[in-house]
Structure 1
Amino acid sequence: MGESTAGGARLPVSDPFDAVPGLAPLRAAAWDGDWAATQAFFEKITSTADVSFAAALLAGVDRAEWYLEKAAEARPDDPLPRTLLAERYLHLGWRARGHAPAKDVAWDQIELFHDWLRKAESLLIEVCAEEPSYAPAWTARLATARGLGLGQSEARRRYDRLVEHHPRLFPAQSRLLQQLFPQWGGSWEAAHGFAQECADAAPDGSHAGILVAEAHVEHWSDLKNTEAAEAAAYLQNPTVRDELRAAARASVLHPDHRRDWHWTRGHSTFALAFSLGGHLADAARHFTALGDTADESFWRYLPDWKLRFTEFRTAASATL
């Protein structure tokens, strides 16, 4: 159960380890610095996408690098500890940089950011050379390519290498989508086109439709920083609304959709996009699915986002 606001509304639980009980053993292993337990957790994962998801989640556990460095040194031929360590370095790098626009990031932050990413890239180059089909490492290299400013062509090359072995891998698609945004050298045409292409090619019930919502929320966020009036109208646009509706029906609202570790991200992103556009009846289905849980990936674009989440949820529930 989440915390409550002064008015009694329940704030959402946003920590994935708390929202998804099946992930709790991974956090416990990281807190204990227990490599054997960490390895055992990953060995039980049957989905390549879930390996990348869990790797990125583990990366957010404070001081995890201490035991991952030891594991990587003790097992130089195993791709898993090096990839997990690289994801931790990625997390430390992005944390050092912050989420501000590039023009507002201090030079010393950029230097530290790049130092961490270069350490990650060094590990990942080795893994990908030894294990060319190891998707978690290629997925991580999409983030290093973006952070180190290696450009669109290099990011696409890495994505294409991954797709040779693992087509339609959602974590990789989402990371490449970030690269395609204008702030990283892409364009909105390329970003929306890629998101829709992935959604169209995916089977019903897959995660790919979430990319459409991610692209629209990012587009709104970019407008919000420059053209507030346009941002307010953007997600209200019937064309955008209809694209979101179609993507939701084909993904998280489809009967074949599997409620796995990613489930809060999809519903959270659609709930945000529909709420910001004033389409509260559409948002209501996603808030109902979420209950007292939420993924903060895109909601953090809003100040005091947990309170805004509860406000939008209450407004959406009134339409039911």
Structure 2
Amino acid sequence: MGDSTDDGPRPLVTDPFDAVPALVPLRDAAWDGDWAAVRAFFEGIATDEAAGAENLSLAAALLAGVERTEWFLEKAVQDRPADPLPRTLLAERYIHLGWRARGRGPAESVSWDAAQQCHERLCKAELLLIEVCAEQPACVPAWTARLGTARGLGLGQSEARRRYDRLAEHHPHHIRAQSLLLRHLCPEGDGSWEAAHGFAEECASAAPDASHAGVLVAEAHLAHWTALEGAEADEYLRSTTVRDELLRAARVSVLHPDHRRDWHWTDSHSTFALAFSLGGHVVDAAPHFAALGDTVSESVWRNVPDWRTRFTEYRATAAQATH
């Protein structure tokens, strides 16, 4: 792994496209505003029966984060009004823009203008997705995106669960959809910690060994930790109960002997590395840091103050603890 070169510390790789070389052509096509190349990329994903639905949803979410993509996606929707792909991708972009307008602070800190911008963009996305799901009931990426709009528009747990169930009819172990539903089940989404942890454990137990479903257990514990304060927060992830649940989840997922690196690898190992590190379980964090090397998911770690420094410090501590 190593933390430095002769010229100093190596920069962290935080761009998810750089973490997965197979995704680079999608980013290049987006930068060029090349709809034909974007469409060809997604059509290529769809031919992979084993990972197609998972990768379609992930690629759609990553494309949504590339700047100014709405320009050529809106034109693609106009040119191909019956095609579900451009509408789904444009909806994902509108969702991204909506959450960006709102910001990441608590609801009480969001200005009226920001909240209104977010609402308007999510409504535009929802209208597109309603059409797609009505025409293509098995369109998993569209149902996945609708879990995001359900949360942003405050449509409630029952509606979110209905959307997830429709998706699960076609893909019962869809990790991104499960992660989105998990947010609805937390107290912040008018759920409970019992419901959130129960759902995460249920998904991890039901999924095939070596899948990514175990990461939901870590996501639930990190969400729970975030909601706590002071000594209660400090002790939460340090508990042996939480540590044991994290260890079991890691062993049946990304640390399972049959697990193979795929497009989700950075998020999963970053999540386990963070949960174990915050709990002081440095030896347990070590294999996840070893897998990550200089790569890290910013979306997972960015809520930690000075997260880049903390990541490199935790990684060094984990490496020292295992030698």
The answer to whether the aligner puts 1:297 opposite 2:293 as a matched pair is: no
Q: CA deviation at 1:103?
A: 1.2
- 2:197 aligned with 1:192: yes
How many residues are paired up? 316
| 1:168 has 2:170 as partner | no
* Change beyond 3 A, Cα 1:133–1:145: same
Q: 1:94 to 1:182 in 2, by over 3 A?
A: same
Q: Are residues 1:133 and 2:138 paired?
A: yes
Aligned partners of 2:224 and 2:233: how far apart in 1? 8
SS in 2 for 1:318: helix
Q: Quote how far apart the aligned CAs of 1:255 are.
A: 1.3
Return the offset for 1:247: 0.1
Partners of 1:4 and 1:64 lie apart in 2 by: 36
Q: Which residue of 2 aligns with 1:23?
A: 23
1:44 aligns with 2:44: yes
What is the deviation of 1:10? 3.3
2:241 corresponds to 1:239: yes
Letter in 1 for 2:275: A
Query: 1: CA distance between counterparts of 2:37 and 2:263?
Result: 19
Given residue 236 of structure 1, which amino acid in structure 2 is its aligned partner?
A: R
Q: How does 1:78-157 map to 2 (within 5 A)?
A: 78-157=83-162
Aligned counterparts of 2:151 and 2:89: Cα–Cα separation in 1: 18
**For the Cα contact (< 8 Å) 1:10–1:310, is it kept in 2?**
no
Alpha-carbon distance in 1 for matches of 2:189, 2:102: 15
Q: Which residue of 2 aligns with 1:208?
A: 213
User: Partner residue of 1:35?
Assistant: 35
| Percentage of identical aligned residues | 70
Aligned CA RMSD, in angstroms, stands at 1.6
Q: What does residue range 232-311 of structure 1 map to in structure 2 within 5 Å?
A: 232-311=234-313
Q: Which runs of 5+ in 2 are unaligned?
A: none
Q: CA deviation at 1:127?
A: 0.0
Asked if structure 2 preserves the Cα contact closer than 8 Å seen for 1:2 and 1:12, the reply is no
**What residue ranges of structure 1 are gaps of 5+ in the alignment?**
none
1:9–1:310 contact (8 Å) kept in structure 2: no
TM-score by length of 2: 0.95
Tell me the SS of whatever aligns to 2:9.
coil
User: 1:222 & 1:4 partners in 2: Cα distance?
Assistant: 35
Counterpart residue type for residue 15 of structure 2: D
Aligned to 2:319: 317
Deviations 1:192-228 (A, max 9, x none): 00000000101100110000001111111111xxx22
How many angstroms apart in 1 are the aligned matches of 2:32 and 2:64? Answer: 15
> Is the CA contact (8 Å cut-off) linking 1:3 and 1:12 kept in structure 2?
no
Q: 1:248 to 1:87 in 2, by over 3 A?
A: same
Asked if structure 2 preserves the Cα contact closer than 8 Å seen for 1:274 and 1:282, the reply is yes
Structure 1 stretch 285-294 or stretch 160-169: which is displaced more?
Answer: 160-169
How much does 1:4 deviate? 7.1
Deviates more, 1:85-94 or 1:176-185: 176-185
